[in-house]
Amino acid sequence: MWNRRLTPRADRLWALLVYNEDEPVRAVEQIILGQAISTRRVRKCSEAAAMLRNARAPALVVTDTSLPDGDWADVLKATRTCASSPPLIVVSRLVDIRLYLDVMESGAYDFVVPPLLAADVAYVVDGALLKRSYHGRFKPQKGPAPSPVGPLGTFAGADR
């Protein structure tokens, strides 16, 4: 069995939770708070978009599949307008394979459904934060990567 030790996060991370009804995102919120990550909750896509325009963007966004003024796809679009492009976790009430495929193919970090076990959600949250940390510091370059091999098979930058 996997054993998880919760460690406080000193860098004051926060997660944006986008949901209108309390279940099941509320369970995810309790697990996130248990990891010493603060949360802010909004109920609509438009409110999420406003929060993502904030100078200090969230480290993570968790959303329900449907909201009063849109759905998870609208929240995903809003995360992409944010400079740090925080990872998105979509929480569904039901297992729906087509929805799962749509969510994952669209670029969300993960898709979770009840029953939500603390260790599983903590694992997903940690992975999302690790992805954010890695991509935040080492953004992929546009275009092809430079080749380490120079002319005539010599390594680029080698003394001649």
Question: Would you write out the chain's pLDDT as a tens digit for each of its 160 residues?
Answer: 344 444 444 458 899 999 988 777 778 888 888 888 999 999 999 999 999 987 688 999 999 999 999 999 999 999 998 888 899 999 998 899 999 999 999 999 999 998 888 889 899 999 998 877 655 443 443 444 444 444 444 444 444 4
Do 72 and 63 meet the contact criterion of CB atoms below 8 Å apart?
yes
Task: Confirm or reject CATH 3.40.50.720 for domain 14-153, answering yes or no.
Answer: no
User: 73: buried, middle or exposed (CB in 10 Å: 19+, 13-18, 0-12)?
Assistant: middle
Distance CA 146, CA 141 (A): 10
pLDDT value of residue 134: 58
**Domain assignments of the chain as residue spans, ordered by start:** 14-153
Q: Check residue 10 and report its DSSP letter.
A: T
**pLDDT given at position 91:** 93
**Could you tell me which of 128, 18, 25, 23 has the C-alpha nearest to residue 78?**
18
- Contacts from 112-115 at CB under 8 Å and sequence distance 24+? 112/28, 113/24, 114/24, 114/27
User: For position 22, what pLDDT does the model report?
Assistant: 76
- Residue 78 Cα distances to 18, 73, 85, 98, 121, angstroms: 12, 9, 9, 22, 23
> What is the reported pLDDT for 151?
44
pTM: predicted TM-score of the whole model, two decimal places: 0.75
